[in-house]
C-alpha cells in the first residue's frame, strides 16, 4: 500500500490534508463556500435597525407598525412588512433549510470555511451552528456588526481557528452619502491552517445592482487595497455576493478591470457548464453574483491555486430549486425554498514548495 492510500491523521481527515512524502509534495486543501442566505433574521426587534418585517405577526398589529409599513414604496416589501409571520417555527424551518444546503458539501461534512451574506447578527448564526450543524466542528460565528440600515451583515463559520481578531472594513462612498446606509463593509478574518501557515479570508457583499456602477467599482478597489496590505507570505481569498450582473459586466468590464488583475476567479477556472448563481427575472439573465476569488501569496513557502474540478454551484438540495430550475427563495408559509442565491463552492490547494 502506498502513502497515497493511507489515512494519516485526524487533521488530514478534518481539513482535507493528505500527504505522500515519497511520491509528491505535501498537499493541504481547504474548501470554501460562499452563501448568501437571504435574510437570516431573528424575530427580536432591534431598535437601531430596520428589521420590522422580521417579527411574528402578533407583534405587527399596533398602529405604529402598520403606519411604518405603509410608507414602503415597493409592494412586495410592504406586504412582507405587514403580513410576514416570522415566528419561532418559521425561523426553525429556515435554519433547517440552510443546514441541509451546507451539508450537501464534502459528503455531509460541509465546507471548511463558509462566507455568509445577509445575516442579522452572530446570535442567529450561532443558532444555525449549534442547533443544526453541531456535529460538523464549526467554531463560534465570526461577525462584526456593520452599519447597514436593515442590519444585514457579512460573516464566517469556520472549522479553522482564528489567528487574530476579525476586522470589518467599512466601505466609504463620499460621492453617494444618501446611499451609504445600504452598504456592507468587508469582513477580514485570518485563519491558521493545520501546518501553522495563515490564510486570510474576506467576506463581501457589494452594493446591489440597482445602485450606480461606480459604487461597485469603489467596492472592488476597496477589496484590492485590503489584499495589497497583507503580508507577502499570506494567501488570501474573497468570497461572497459581488452583485456584478452579466448585463453590467459585459459593457463595463468590471471583472476584467477591477478583479482579474488581482485575483483568480473560481468561475473562470472551473464550473464550465454552470449558468450562474443568480437568475434575474427582469431580463431573464444568469449571473455569477456569488463567487470566490483567490490570490496566492507573493512570498509564501507554499504554492497555491483553486482546483478547477472543485468549483461548483451547490444546488443539489431539491428545495433550493424552483420548478423552472431557478434558485427558490425561502417560503415562510410552506418552509419550501432556501435562498434566491445558490452557493458557490471551491477548494484551495496548497502545495509545499520543493
* Domains, the chain, with CATH or none: 3-43+87-352 (3.60.10.10)
Q: Which residues contact 19 (CB under 8 A, 6 or more apart)?
A: 3, 8, 12, 26, 27
pLDDT at 290: 98
- Rounded distance, CA 336 to CA 321, Å? 10
C-alpha cell at 104: 450537501
Is the pLDDT higher at 283 or at 24? 283
**Average pLDDT, rounded, for the chain:** 92
The answer to whether the pTM exceeds 0.75 is yes
pLDDT of 25 reads 58
Per-residue pLDDT at 6 exceeds 50: no
Surface-to-core class of residue 243, CB atoms within 10 Å of its CB (0-12 exposed, 13-18 middle, 19+ buried): buried
For 278-342, give the secondary structure using H, E and C: EEECCCCEEECCEEEEEECCCCCCEEEEECHHHCEECCCCHHHECCCCCECECCCCCCCCECCCC
- Whole-angstrom Cα distance, residue 91 to residue 89? 5
What are the distances in angstroms from CA 291 to CA 86, 174, 254?
29, 27, 14
In tens, the pLDDT along 151-185 reads 999 999 999 999 999 999 999 999 999 999 999 99
- Nearest to 244, CA basis, from 260, 227, 228: 260
> Stretch 265-289: mean pLDDT, rounded?
95
Amino acid at each position: 500500500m502506498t502513502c497515497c492510500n493511507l489515512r494519516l491523521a485526524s487533521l488530514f481527515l478534518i481539513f482535507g490534508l493528505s500527504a505522500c512524502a515519497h511520491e509528491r509534495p505535501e498537499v493541504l486543501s481547504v474548501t470554501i463556500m460562499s452563501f448568501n442566505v437571504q435574510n437570516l433574521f431573528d424575530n427580536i426587534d432591534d431598535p437601531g435597525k430596520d428589521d420590522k418585517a422580521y417579527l411574528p405577526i402578533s407583534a405587527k398589529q399596533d398602529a405604529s407598525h402598520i403606519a411604518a409599513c405603509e410608507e414602503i414604496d415597493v409592494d412586495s416589501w410592504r406586504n412582507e412588512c405587514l403580513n410576514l409571520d416570522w415566528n419561532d417555527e418559521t425561523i426553525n424551518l429556515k435554519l433547517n433549510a440552510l443546514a441541509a444546503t451546507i451539508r450537501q458539501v464534502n459528503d455531509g461534512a460541509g465546507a471548511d470555511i463558509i462566507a455568509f451574506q445577509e445575516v442579522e447578527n452572530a446570535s442567529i448564526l450561532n443558532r444555525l451552528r449549534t442547533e443544526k450543524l453541531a456535529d460538523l466542528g464549526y467554531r463560534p460565528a465570526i461577525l462584526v456588526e456593520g452599519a447597514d440600515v436593515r442590519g444585514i451583515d457579512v460573516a464566517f463559520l469556520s472549522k479553522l481557528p482564528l489567528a487574530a481578531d476579525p476586522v470589518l472594513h467599512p466601505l466609504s462612498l463620499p460621492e453617494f452619502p444618501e446611499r451609504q446606509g445600504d452598504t456592507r463593509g468587508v469582513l477580514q478574518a485570518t485563519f491558521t491552517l493545520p501546518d501553522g501557515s495563515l490564510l486570510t479570508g474576506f467576506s463581501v457583499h457589494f452594493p446591489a445592482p440597482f445602485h450606480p456602477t461606480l459604487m461597485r467599482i469603489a467596492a472592488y478597489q476597496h477589496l484590492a487595497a485590503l489584499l495589497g496590505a497583507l503580508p507577502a507570505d499570506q494567501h488570501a481569498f474573497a468570497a461572497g455576493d459581488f452583485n456584478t450582473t452579466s448585463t453590467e459586466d459585459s459593457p463595463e468590464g468590471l471583472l476584467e478591470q477591477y478583479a482579474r488583475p488581482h485575483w483568480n476567479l473560481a468561475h473562470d477556472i472551473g464550473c464550465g457548464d454552470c449558468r450562474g448563481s443568480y437568475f434575474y427575472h427582469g431580463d431573464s439573465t444568469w449571473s455569477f453574483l456569488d463567487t470566490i476569488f483567490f490570490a496566492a501569496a507573493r512570498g509564501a513557502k507554499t504554492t497555491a491555486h483553486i482546483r478547477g474540478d472543485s468549483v461548483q454551484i451547490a444546488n443539489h438540495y431539491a428545495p433550493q430549486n424552483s420548478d423552472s430550475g431557478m434558485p427558490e427563495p425561502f417560503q415562510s408559509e410552506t418552509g419550501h425554498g432556501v435562498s434566491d442565491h445558490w452557493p458557490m463552492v471551491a477548494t484551495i490547494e496548497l502545495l509545499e514548495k520543493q
